[in-house]
Amino acid sequence: MSPQTKMKMRRWQRKPFVTYGLLGLTVFMFLLQTLRGGSQNPFVLYELGAKVNELIVLGEWWRLITPVFLHIGIEHILLNGIIIYFLGIQVEAIIGHWRYFLLYMLSAIAGNAASFAFNQSISAGASTALFGLFGATLVLPKFFPNNYQVKEMSKSFLLLIIINLVVGLFSNGIDMAGHVGGLVGGYLIMYTLSAPNSWISGVKIQAKYGVIYTILLSIILIIGWRTTTMLYFN
């Protein structure tokens, strides 16, 4: 392999291509929603994979994942798209591509599971994953205690988390369960994944937080299953 080719590969590896890919897929799905009848059309949301509790109980477990790529209204996708881009680029640059992808998806699953357990309404949106990224920023200063930029980023997003949670408490139509579930999931998953070249790492620490995440996720899913079954199938 020539030096020029190696240099091009290194430049490509440094680009936030996972963030670009997730954002591109999210925009594509929104366009598909629009073409099939509108992003606020309940039938389109059902068809393309929004979180619907009754359908999850009936075996459509993939609805714990697919809602992260759907949005309800142009304002919804614009806000989340901006956050995916700016926050995603920063987090992906710090923790690497595959860690970032797992963090995003596992946070989404945790958030959608919490919504399944505590919110009976249909829901969709990347907020579950984005709150997971917020949760990860709270962990990063512990990985890089001497990095001023990481510390400042964490402080900024802590304020944003508080503001979003407070606004959510007084707003209709916001899936607070999904937000909190994603936040907690992201916090735990960030410890589980660790971070490259960080001073705090080790199999025991990663295993500990991975087990906590798995146990909490299992409990939440059981709650969602029992609640939905009692409401709709008894």
Residue 233 has pLDDT above 70, yes or no: yes
Q: Range with the lowest mean pLDDT among 13-17, 99-103, 109-113, 139-143?
A: 13-17
Nearest to 182 by CA among 198, 168, 170: 168
Tell me the backbone φ, ψ of residue 198, rounded to 5 degrees: -95, 160
Residue 5 has pLDDT above 60, yes or no: no
| 204 vs 231, higher pLDDT | 231
Q: Which of 39, 107, 179, 194 is catalytic?
A: 179
The model's pLDDT over 126-153, given as tens digits with 9 standing for 90+, comes to: 999 999 999 999 999 988 888 888 898 8
pTM of the model: 0.91
CATH 3.40.50.300 for domain 3-232, yes or no, is no
CA distance to 187, 194, 209, per residue, from 203 (Å): 17, 9, 10
Which are the contacts of 120, defined by CB distance < 8 A and separation ≥ 6?
53, 227, 228, 231
Active site residue 76: no
Give residue 144's pLDDT.
87
The model's pLDDT over 48-89, given as tens digits with 9 standing for 90+, comes to: 999 999 999 999 999 999 999 999 999 999 999 999 999 999
Tell me the backbone φ, ψ of residue 176, rounded to 5 degrees: -65, -35
Q: Which of 127, 171, 194, 201 is catalytic?
A: 127
Over residues 153-173, the mean pLDDT reads: 84
In angstroms, the CA 30 to CA 69 distance is 8
